[in-house]
């Protein structure tokens, strides 16, 4: 076990040392399909089209069948890209299967907009369904009527401005509303809103209206973003890139959840990242990337990380996102995020600041079992639950919530893992272990024994599936579709495994000490 723990620490060191390349993000069906659609040159992207077809599920749709809310955007986008790719083998069959899938799918936006709807749904989905209907007339596609008033209201606001400033949140969905390249300008990385789909759409319009020097920068961005997927296929791009703030922030925060933040083996890598974050944090906060607008979530997690490192950042930075007693991720967003308020609560408590409103909101957003779900940035309830437990327990060494603990233990699957879908995942099992780690501080022996038994089963499940230096690409994070920030997820997986390994060693030691 000690050798494996050292191997895990070594891989964590390597991952942290690589976080200066803009970030690693798994390939996106939606963005790849939109980029192919706007690129137009089918013969120059045959491998990317083949990759796209290979991602289609047996039922004709794209995306994880366990989470149907997030399948419309990638399926619409793939259908539209393949509909014009007659020369690609199997493209016609894929279009027919996708059409049947969309005809059968219930419309999740028939009457209302779900709280956890994907990013930009109000702009993107009506646009895609309209494009498909005009191409394939007579097909009874979902029309998403509950989104139409939201789209119209947003378009009215956008029509009142000549151009949005670089990094504005609405630029992330520019492909769904942009009508002229003059309404946006590539940022320093060459992107429109850190979105490959938006950048590809902007580039196509710029080329049609006369080539400009900015087109070359957009091309370079798309090529670099494609490399971030590690797919090795030109034209296959991620859902968002770069994530050069989000990736290191969340990775260090995760180390804290596992008790690894101050581990000597990681100290130098942590120090480097902390120094970068401290230098980058301005009075307006931080966003997911250096060239993107600041938001409460990235700002709060950055504040947490800096506080944990012994720094004294100005927590008032968060107040820019405070509306009443809540924190909004971005000003003007449709609904508040549970996890953003969890992170704000954690940052305020680490700073010794009052946080009654955020605390009340976090407590009020439990489900009947005492756990947290319905989260707008991650599809699994285990993600906000692990973070909420850490925030609520901050400064309370023996904090424990029996209702949450019982529900978490009850949710463990027969195989020893945890998961919000039909199967356990390594990432979600790690989140469960982070929460149990916080609630294991009690001196109550029966509860500790139940936790130890659950951890032993989880460790067995993890050991059977652990492969060194293998970055899984299980999309559970919510963007325009579900996506996977691969290094962030791998750090969570490794931190969870390291925690479980140490737990097992500690339990054995305690058992030996109690032996007669």
Determine the pLDDT at residue 335: 84
Q: Are 130 and 279 part of one and the same domain?
A: no
User: Exposed/middle/buried for 72, CB within 10 Å: 0-12, 13-18, 19+?
Assistant: buried
Q: What is the pLDDT of residues 368-414, one digit of tens each?
A: 999 998 889 999 999 999 999 999 999 887 788 899 999 999 999 99
Say which DSSP state 193 is in: T
pLDDT digits (tens, 9 = 90+) for 204-249: 999 988 767 899 999 999 999 999 999 999 999 999 999 999 999 9
Of 197, 227, 257, the residue that ends a domain is 227
The answer to whether residues 371 and 443 belong to one domain is yes
Residue 338 lies in a domain: yes
Q: What tokens appear for 319 in the block?
A: 């107040």
Q: What are phi and psi of 210, to 5 degrees?
A: 110, 120
Q: Is the peptide bond before 242 cis (omega within 30 degrees of 0)?
A: yes
SS (H, E, C) 355-366: CHHHHHHHHHCE
Q: Report the CATH number at residue 40.
A: 1.50.10.160
Is 272 found in the same domain as 332?
yes
pLDDT for 516 equals: 38
Distance CA 368, CA 80 (A): 41
How many structural domains is the chain composed of?
2
pLDDT mean by block of 10 residues, the chain; 516 residues: 91 97 97 94 89 98 97 97 92 96 93 93 95 80 93 93 92 96 94 98 92 88 97 97 98 97 97 97 95 97 98 92 91 88 96 90 93 93 97 86 94 98 97 94 72 95 95 93 98 97 71 44
The residue segments making up the domain with residue 451 are: 2-21+243-514
Q: What pLDDT score was predicted for residue 510?
A: 62
Domain ends where: 227, 254, 277? 227
Q: Which of 24, 72, 80, 15 is nearest to 52 (CA)?
A: 80
| Residue that is written with structure tokens 């970068």 in the block | 276
Please choose, from the candidates 63, 77, 72, the residue with its C-alpha nearest in 3D space to the C-alpha of residue 135: 77
Residues 283 and 144 in one domain: no
> What's the pLDDT score for residue 370?
94
Alpha carbon distance 144, 125 (integer Å): 7
Residues 136 and 257 in one domain: no
140 and 34 within one domain: yes
Question: Buried b vs exposed e over 182-211: b needs ≥16 C-beta within 10 Å?
Answer: ebbbbbebbbbbbbbbbbbbbbbbbbeeee
Whole-number pLDDT of residue 354: 84
Residues in contact with 90: Cβ distance below 8 Å, sequence separation at least 6, in sequence order: 53
Q: What is the dihedral of CA 288, 291, 295, 298, to 10 degrees?
A: 30
> In the chain, helix, strand, coil percent, each to 5?
55, 5, 40
DSSP 473: -
Say which CATH number the domain at 289 has.
1.50.10.20
Do 212 and 348 fall into the same domain?
no
| Alpha-carbon gap, residue 432 to 454, rounded angstroms | 10
How far, in Å, CA of 379 to CA of 118, rounded?
10
CA 83/CA 427 separation, integer angstroms: 36
């Amino acid at each position: 076990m000690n050798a494996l723990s050292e191997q895990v620490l070594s891989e964590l060191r390597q991952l942290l040392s690589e976080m200066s390349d803009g970030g690693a993000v798994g390939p996106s069906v939606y963005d790849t399909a939109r980029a192919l659609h706007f690129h137009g040159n089918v013969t120059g992207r045959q491998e990317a089209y083949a990759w796209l077809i290979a991602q289609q599920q047996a039922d004709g749709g794209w995306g994880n069948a366990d989470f149907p809310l997030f399948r419309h955007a990638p399926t619409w986008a793939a259908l539209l890209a393949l509909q014009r790719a007659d020369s690609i083998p199997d493209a016609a069959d894929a279009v027919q299967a996708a059409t049947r899938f969309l005809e059968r799918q219930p419309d999740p936006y028939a009457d209302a907009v779900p709280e956890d709807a994907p990013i930009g749904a109000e702009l993107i989905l009506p646009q895609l369904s309209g494009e498909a209907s005009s191409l394939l007339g007579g097909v009874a596609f979902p029309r998403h009527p509950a989104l139409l008033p939201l789209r119209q209201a947003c378009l009215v606001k956008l029509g009142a401005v000549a151009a949005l400033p670089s990094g504005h949140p609405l630029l992330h969905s520019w492909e769904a509303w942009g009508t002229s390249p003059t309404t946006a300008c590539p940022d320093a990385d060459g992107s429109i809103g850190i979105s490959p789909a938006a950048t590809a759409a902007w580039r196509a319009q710029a080329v049609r209206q006369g080539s400009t020097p900015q087109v070359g920068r957009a091309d370079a961005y798309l090529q670099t973003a494609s490399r971030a997927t590690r797919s090795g296929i030109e034209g296959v791009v991620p859902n968002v890139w770069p994530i050069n703030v989000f990736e290191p922030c969340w990775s260090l925060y995760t180390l804290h959840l596992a008790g690894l933040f101050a581990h000597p083996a990681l100290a130098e890598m942590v120090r480097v990242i902390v120094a970068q974050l401290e230098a980058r944090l301005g009075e307006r906060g931080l966003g997911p990337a250096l060239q993107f607008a600041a938001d409460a979530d990235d700002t709060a997690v950055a504040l947490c990380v800096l506080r944990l490192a012994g720094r004294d950042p100005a927590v008032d930075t968060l107040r820019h996102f405070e509306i009443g007693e809540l924190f909004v991720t971005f000003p003007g967003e449709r609904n508040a995020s549970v996890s953003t308020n969890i992170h704000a609560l954690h940052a305020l408590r680490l700073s010794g600041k009052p946080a009654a409103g955020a605390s009340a909101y976090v407590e009020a957003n439990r489900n009947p079992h005492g756990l947290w779900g319905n989260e707008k940035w991650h599809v699994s309830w285990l993600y906000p639950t692990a973070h909420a437990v850490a925030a609520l327990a901050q400064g309370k060494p023996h904090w424990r919530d029996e209702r949450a603990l019982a529900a978490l233990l009850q949710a463990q699957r027969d195989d020893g893992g945890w998961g919000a879908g039909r199967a356990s995942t390594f990432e979600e099992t790690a989140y469960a272990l982070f929460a149990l780690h916080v609630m294991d501080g009690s001196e109550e022996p029966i509860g500790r024994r139940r936790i130890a038994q659950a951890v032993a089963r989880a460790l067995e499940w993890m050991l059977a599936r652990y492969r060194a230096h293998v970055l899984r690409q299980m999309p559970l994070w919510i963007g325009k579709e579900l996506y996977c920030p691969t290094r962030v997820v791998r750090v969570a997986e490794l931190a969870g495994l390291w925690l479980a390994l140490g737990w097992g060693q500690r339990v054995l030691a305690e058992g030996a000490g109690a032996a007669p």
